[in-house]
Amino acid sequence: MNECYGNKFILNGNLQPVELFDKSLVYEGDSVYEVLRIIRGNPIFFNDHMERLATSVKLQKKKFLADVPTLRKDIISLARSDKKRETNLKIVFNYKNDETNYLVYFIESSYPSESQYKNGVKGILFFAERKDPESKVINHKLRSSIYHKLILESGYEAILVNENNLITEGSRSNIFFLKGEALTTAPDNVILNGITRKHILEICIENNIRVEFACVKADEIKEYDAVFITGTSPMVLPFCCIDNNFFNVNIPLIERLRKLYLEKAEASVSMFRS
């Protein structure tokens, strides 16, 4: 799969043909990034992503390479030039020796089907943890290892388990466990706090849904009624199984959370346009 998808990309504020895209500007040196979902040519939760990008840059003690108004202008320019309506967009700040570059480009996206939302997807346990969980930085080696295991085991998402046998997050998502009427998710300080997760937690507060912040032990997941992930591409997506542990996917609360999240996403698109 190509890193850059489409006909154009932006390099340091300038629109360029895709033939000039150089993957070394993403995967060599240090890269801080954000992935935004585009709906009808507009990003959802733009301000949230910009805040997290700033946080990641600060935690990595790097320089912010483009301000928010510039990135907003770049996204609009790219969307107009390439006419992509429903896809994901990536912003990368790359630091290599004394050289810095920032890129804005579309990435080929795979969204869950309605069947997957209804019947759930397969998860696998993967024993690893992020070096800097609170920063969104590219770890090519870890990503490659997870990708190959997912292919071998026909999995949709890998669930990260740390050295203490505790589940923290998904490789590209956050994870929630449901028992009865209460949700459990890992504490903020041990994960990358996803934008989708943030809004799901807000929805829980608004609707009096109880949430406990704790890491679930890998050998205790079978005690839960249901498990779902949250993320830019999957939004709110249930697991039918994780390894050999099977879960109920016909939980009204999960579908309710997804619908309420979609309402928030639509409202954020209107904010970006204004």
The answer on 203 and 74 residing in a single domain is no
Listed residues 61, 80, 107: the one ending a domain: 107
End-of-domain residue from the set 74, 107, 140:
107
Do 97 and 120 lie in one domain? The reply is: no
CB 229 within 8 A of CB 169: no
Label residue 274 by pLDDT band (50, 70, 90).
low
**Which amino acid does the sequence have at 70?**
T
Query: What's the rounded mean pLDDT across residues 222-237?
Result: 97
The two three-digit tokens of residue 160, written as one number: 């990260």
Count up the domains in the chain and report the number. Answer: 2
For residues 197 and 64, give the distance between their C-alpha atoms in angstroms, rounded to a whole number: 25
Please check whether residue 230 is in contact with residue 196, taking contact to mean a CB–CB distance below 8 angstroms: yes
Q: How far is CA 191 from CA 3, 9, 129, in A?
A: 25, 30, 9
Average pLDDT in the chain = 93
Residue 40 pLDDT exceeds 80: yes
Residue 239 lies in a domain: yes
pLDDT at 163 over 80: yes
Q: Would 3 be classed as within a structural domain?
A: no
Residue 213 located in a structural domain = yes
The reply to whether 265 falls in a domain is yes
Q: What confidence score (pLDDT) does residue 230 get?
A: 98
E strands, the chain, where? 8-11, 14-17, 30-39, 42-43, 86-96, 99-107, 121-127, 157-161, 167-170, 174-179, 182-185, 210-213, 226-231, 235-242, 245-246
Are 157 and 121 contacting, i.e. CB atoms less than 8 angstroms apart?
A: yes
Q: Is residue 234 part of a domain?
A: yes
| Pair of tokens at residue 152 | 């071998």
CA distances from 140 to 3, 28, 31, 131, 249 (A): 13, 10, 10, 13, 32
pLDDT over 90 (residue 270): no
Q: Are residues 161 and 258 in the same domain?
A: yes
Q: Does 90 reside within a domain?
A: yes
Enclosing domain of residue 199? 114-269
Same domain, 90 and 188: no
Query: What is the pLDDT at residue 134?
Result: 63
Whether residue 141 contacts residue 105, with contact meaning beta carbons closer than 8 Å, is answered with no
Cβ-contact 195, 45 below 8 angstroms? yes
Q: Give yes or no: residues 125 and 93 share one domain.
A: no
Mean per-residue pLDDT, 242-249: 96
pLDDT value at 133 more than 80: no
Residues 145 and 94 in one domain: no
Model confidence over 165-176: pLDDT tens digits? 999 999 999 999
Q: What is the pLDDT of residues 193-222, one digit of tens each?
A: 899 999 999 999 999 999 999 999 999 999
Which of 51, 81, 107 corresponds to the end of one domain?
Answer: 107
- Residue 82 or 255, more confident: 255
144 and 261 share one domain: yes
Q: What is the percent of the chain where pLDDT is above 70?
A: 97
Which pLDDT value is given to residue 234?
96
